C-alpha cells in the first residue's frame, strides 16, 4: 500500500509542477510579448517625435530668418507698407511665417513629452508676440527716433526667439538621447 501512495503522491506532484510550469511559461511569455510591444511602440513614438522635432526646428529656423528679413525690410523702409495694400501684404507674409511654425508646434504638443512641449509653447508665444508687434509697427508711421528704439526692441525680441529655439533644441536632444525601455508594471 505504501508503494501505491508513493505513486499517487508522485503523480500529484508531477501534475502540480506541470501545471505550475505551464502557468509560469504563459506569464513569462506574455510579459515578454508585452515588453516587446512596449519597446516597439516606444521606438515608433520616438521616430514620430524625431520627425516632428525636426519639422519644428526647421520651421522655427525659417520663421526666425523670415522675421529677421522683415525687420530689416522695415528698418530700411524698402517697401514701407503705408498704403492698405502694403500693410495687408506685410500682414499676410507674417501670417504665413507663423502658420508654418504653429503647425509644427501642434505636432509636438500631440507627441510630447512635456519636457519639450513647455519650451515649444514658450517659443510659440514669443513668435506670436513678435509677429503681432511687427504688424502693429508696420501699420503706423514713426519718427526716426521711434524707428531706432523700436528696431532695438524688436531685435532683442528676435534674439530671445532664437535663444528659446536653442532651449527647445536642448530639450529635444535630451529626449532623443534616452532609448525606449520596457515598463516595470506587472
Lookup: cell for 178: 534616452
Whether the bond between 91 and the residue before it is cis, its omega within 30 degrees of 0, is no
Name which of 40, 60, 67, 52 is nearest 156 in CA terms: 67
pLDDT at 22: 72
The mean pLDDT of 104-117, rounded to a whole number, is 91
Quote the CA–CA distance of 167 and 9 in Å, as a whole number.
69
The hierarchical CATH code for the domain 50-177 is 1.20.120
pLDDT at 82: 57
Examine the pLDDT at 119 and tell me if it is beyond 90. Answer: yes
Quote the CA–CA distance of 113 and 180 in Å, as a whole number.
13
pLDDT at 79: 45
pTM score above 0.75: no
pLDDT at 80: 52
pLDDT at 29: 65
Amino acid at each position: 500500500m505504501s508503494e501505491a501512495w508513493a505513486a499517487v503522491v508522485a503523480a500529484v506532484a508531477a501534475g502540480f509542477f506541470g501545471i505550475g510550469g505551464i502557468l509560469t511559461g504563459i506569464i513569462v511569455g506574455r510579459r515578454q510579448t508585452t515588453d516587446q510591444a512596449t519597446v516597439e511602440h516606444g521606438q515608433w513614438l520616438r521616430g514620430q517625435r524625431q520627425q516632428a522635432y525636426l519639422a519644428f526646428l526647421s520651421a522655427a529656423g525659417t520663421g526666425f530668418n523670415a522675421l529677421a528679413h522683415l525687420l530689416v525690410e522695415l528698418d530700411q523702409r524698402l517697401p514701407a507698407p503705408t498704403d492698405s495694400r502694403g500693410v495687408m501684404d506685410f500682414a499676410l507674409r507674417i501670417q504665413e511665417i507663423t502658420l508654418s511654425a504653429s503647425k509644427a508646434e501642434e505636432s509636438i504638443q500631440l507627441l510630447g513629452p512635456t519636457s519639450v512641449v513647455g519650451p515649444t509653447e514658450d517659443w510659440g508665444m514669443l513668435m506670436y508676440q513678435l509677429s503681432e508687434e511687427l504688424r502693429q509697427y508696420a501699420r503706423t508711421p514713426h519718427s526716426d527716433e521711434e524707428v531706432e528704439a523700436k528696431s532695438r526692441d524688436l531685435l532683442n525680441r528676435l534674439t530671445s526667439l532664437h535663444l528659446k529655439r536653442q532651449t527647445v533644441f536642448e530639450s529635444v536632444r535630451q529626449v532623443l538621447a534616452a532609448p525606449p525601455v520596457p515598463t516595470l508594471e506587472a
